[in-house]
């Protein structure tokens, strides 16, 4: 038997990943693009500019892109030779934005009713077509698929956003919905997991190029160790804290004091009243410790919101990007029950608004949390989330800052991304309209630049049509979730 096959049979998942890392291409940071020598100097002239941190847009002073970066602002195209410089002239109805970040960008799809699995290729194309130039995947079931696609994108061999991988879930949610609380047994995260195993898991994924991990359904002690080891590795940590009994696996106060960097979904367990009484204290702690908040409104209120505001939230034929067979499966399934009722969702909107009003503008980030169970896709859901944040009462400039500069700050990459400033990577989105007046204008994407390389959104969309999902009943293998064991002794028997 070949040695690699033997290793894969007798070892746990973390050792299998080490083998993957040893024999795969090295995992680099997210800054490689098509060779910059192939991209001519570009000047973008005309239109309007939102820089990522201002409250207004301004007349575009002229942007020079050179070697994938913003080389200068305030340039005149006439100062450059047309033989060596490409000039793009925008009209007065166009606005330039920094490339947008999705910090809860699930690539998971449940298409055959056998769990969630990653589809990174065409989902990534759809994110990019929608102006999302960077994603963090917020928990993965097949992380090797995400890492492999990330490396292909970074090598210029595939098209997609900057793909900040999260690695697998850290906690019992590695076994998806077969567990409800942290105390439930999971083959991928056993109840007797040791401190050494936890620290080793973090180290392995850091070596794979993961910059931020996701904790879901871990115990307080497990979370303490995870946060400590992640921070030692200069990684950030996000967490979904509530379990499926609507209780905390780890109390939010405790998680903040442990050093949690980002919290998802909600700041209290209640729908107002006694179970939400600690909100002022929680907001004060988040401000003091600079904890980012990813509210995911479009997911948690999505079904009811789409029914109430169809003209605002359903503008594209998203079904066309699935295979015909997948369209049939999802149409038969229909919508799942709403994630929250009207009262609970109103509390989620209130928590987001009160954090902003208390001074938390810089702590708000945008995340879609759209694992696919329906004929809707996360690249389009991004714009539903921007609308939902606006609808919750946030000014449009605040929503756009959350989508751009705050996302970069939360991942620790704001020295290179997130705003339109000299020296930063030229990740830019040109939209038709003024999203500072109408947030829905972000969905009218005319041009997308990533590290100075321009993509045609319509060509991207066309390339993904009919590609997502199995093609028929005999094509289910890649769409079935198999839980991964942490230890060799726990591996399922063949």
Q: What is the pLDDT of residue 24?
A: 40
The fraction of the chain above a pLDDT of 90, given in percent, is 86
Q: What is the pLDDT of residue 489?
A: 58
* pLDDT per position as a tens digit, 35-49: 555 678 999 999 999
Q: What is the pLDDT of residue 387?
A: 98
The answer to whether residues 354 and 392 touch, using CB atoms and an 8 Å cutoff, is no
Question: Does the pLDDT of residue 3 top 80, yes or no?
Answer: no
Q: What are phi and psi of 443, to 5 degrees?
A: -85, -5
Question: Does the pLDDT of residue 122 top 50, yes or no?
Answer: yes
Q: What is the pLDDT of residue 274?
A: 92
Question: Does the pLDDT of residue 416 top 60, yes or no?
Answer: yes
In this prediction, residues 191-209 reach a mean pLDDT of 97
Average pLDDT, the chain: 91
Q: What is the pLDDT of residue 83?
A: 87
Rounded to whole angstroms, how far apart are CA atoms 330 and 482?
A: 21
Partners of 95 in the beta sheet?
Answer: 48, 431
Burial class (CB in 10 A: 0-12, 13-18, 19+), 449: buried
Question: Does the pLDDT of residue 10 top 70, yes or no?
Answer: no
Question: Does the pLDDT of residue 157 top 70, yes or no?
Answer: yes
Token couple for 296: 């995911």
Q: What is the pLDDT of residue 337?
A: 87
Q: Output the CA–CA distances (angstroms, integers) from residue 18 to 23, 91, 201, 212, 386, in the order listed.
A: 9, 51, 11, 19, 39
The answer to whether residues 296 and 339 touch, using CB atoms and an 8 Å cutoff, is no
Rounded to whole angstroms, how far apart are CA atoms 433 and 47?
A: 10
The fraction of the chain above a pLDDT of 70, given in percent, is 91
Q: What is the pLDDT of residue 167?
A: 97
Average the pLDDT over each of 5-14, 227-236, 447-456 and give the range with the smallest value: 5-14
Question: Does the pLDDT of residue 14 top 70, yes or no?
Answer: no
Q: What is this structure's pTM? A: 0.92
Rounded to whole angstroms, how far apart are CA atoms 479 and 483?
A: 13
pLDDT confidence band for 339 (50 / 70 / 90):
confident
pLDDT confidence band for 334 (50 / 70 / 90):
confident
pLDDT confidence band for 204 (50 / 70 / 90):
very high
In a 13 Å sphere around the CA of 221, the CA atoms on its Cβ side amount to: 7
Q: What is the pLDDT of residue 491?
A: 43
Burial class (CB in 10 A: 0-12, 13-18, 19+), 149: buried
Q: What is the pLDDT of residue 12?
A: 47
What proportions of the chain, in percent to the nearest 5, are helix, strand and coil?
A: 40, 20, 40
- The residue with tokens 């991004």 is 382
Partners of 428 in the beta sheet?
Answer: 98, 449
Rounded to whole angstroms, how far apart are CA atoms 154 and 33?
A: 5
Looking at per-residue confidence, does 131 or 371 come out higher? Answer: 131
Rounded to whole angstroms, how far apart are CA atoms 324 and 327?
A: 5
User: Of 64, 58, 111, 104, which Cα lies nearest the Cα of 329?
Assistant: 111
In this prediction, residues 57-63 reach a mean pLDDT of 96
The alpha carbon of residue 155 and the mean position of all alpha carbons in its chain are separated, in whole angstroms, by: 21
Q: What is the pLDDT of residue 385?
A: 98
Residue 51's contacts (CB-CB under 8 Å, 6 or more residues apart) are 58, 98, 419, 420, 421
* pLDDT per position as a tens digit, 459-481: 999 999 999 999 999 999 999 99
Question: Does the pLDDT of residue 19 top 90, yes or no?
Answer: no
Q: What is the pLDDT of residue 6?
A: 29
Token couple for 162: 């900057």
Question: Does the pLDDT of residue 17 top 50, yes or no?
Answer: no
Rounded to whole angstroms, how far apart are CA atoms 262 and 329?
A: 35
In this prediction, residues 288-294 reach a mean pLDDT of 98
Q: What are phi and psi of 85, to 5 degrees?
A: -130, 130
Q: What is the pLDDT of residue 492?
A: 43
């Amino acid at each position: 038997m070949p040695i690699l096959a033997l290793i894969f049979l007798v070892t746990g998942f973390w050792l299998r990943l080490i083998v993957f890392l040893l024999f795969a291409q090295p995992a680099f940071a997210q800054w490689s693009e098509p060779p910059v020598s192939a991209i001519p100097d570009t000047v973008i002239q005309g239109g309007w500019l939102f820089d990522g941190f201002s409250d207004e847009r301004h007349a575009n002073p002229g942007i020079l892109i050179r070697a994938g970066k913003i080389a200068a602002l305030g340039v005149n195209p006439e100062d450059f030779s047309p033989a060596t410089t490409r000039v793009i002239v925008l009209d007065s109805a166009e606005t330039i934005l920094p490339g947008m970040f999705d910090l809860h960008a699930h690539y998971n799809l449940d298409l055959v009713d056998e769990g969630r699995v990653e589809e990174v290729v065409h989902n990534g194309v759809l994110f990019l077509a929608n102006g999302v130039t960077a994603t963090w995947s917020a928990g993965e079931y097949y992380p090797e698929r995400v890492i492999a696609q990330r490396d292909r994108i970074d090598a210029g061999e595939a098209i997609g956003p900057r793909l900040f991988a999260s690695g697998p879930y850290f906690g019992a949610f590695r076994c998806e919905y077969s567990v409800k609380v942290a105390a439930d047994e999971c083959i991928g995260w056993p109840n007797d997991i040791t401190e050494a195993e936890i620290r080793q898991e973090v180290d392995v994924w850091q070596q794979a190029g993961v910059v931020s991990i996701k904790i879901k359904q871990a115990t307080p002690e497990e979370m303490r160790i995870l946060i400590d080891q992640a921070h030692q590795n200069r990684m950030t940590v996000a967490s979904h804290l509530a379990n499926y009994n609507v209780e905390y696996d780890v109390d939010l106060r405790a998680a903040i004091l442990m050093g949690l960097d980002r919290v998802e979904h909600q700041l209290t367990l209640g729908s107002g009243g006694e179970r939400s009484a600690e909100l002022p204290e929680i907001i004060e702690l988040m401000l003091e410790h600079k904890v980012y908040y990813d509210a995911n409104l479009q997911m948690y209120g999505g079904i009811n919101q789409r029914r109430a505001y169809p003209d605002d939230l359903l503008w594209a034929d998203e079904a066309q990007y699935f295979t015909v067979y997948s369209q049939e499966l999802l149409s038969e399934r229909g919508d799942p029950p709403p994630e929250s009722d009207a009262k609970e969702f109103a509390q989620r909107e209130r928590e987001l608004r009160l954090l902003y009003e208390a001074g938390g503008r810089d702590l708000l980030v945008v995340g879609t949390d759209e694992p696919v169970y329906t004929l809707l896709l996360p690249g389009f859901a991004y714009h539903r989330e921007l609308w939902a944040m606006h609808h919750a009462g946030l000014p449009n400039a605040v929503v756009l800052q959350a989508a751009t500069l705050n996302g970069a700050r939360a991942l620790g990459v704001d020295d290179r991304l997130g705003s339109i400033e000299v020296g930063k990577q030229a990740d830019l989105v040109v939209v038709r309209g003024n999203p500072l007046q109408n947030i829905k204008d972000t969905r009218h994407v005319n041009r997308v630049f990533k590290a100075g390389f321009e993509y045609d959104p319509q060509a991207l969309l066309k390339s993904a049509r009919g590609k997502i999902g199995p093609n028929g009943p005999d094509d289910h293998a890649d769409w079935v979730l198999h839980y991964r064991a942490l230890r060799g002794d726990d591996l399922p028997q063949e």
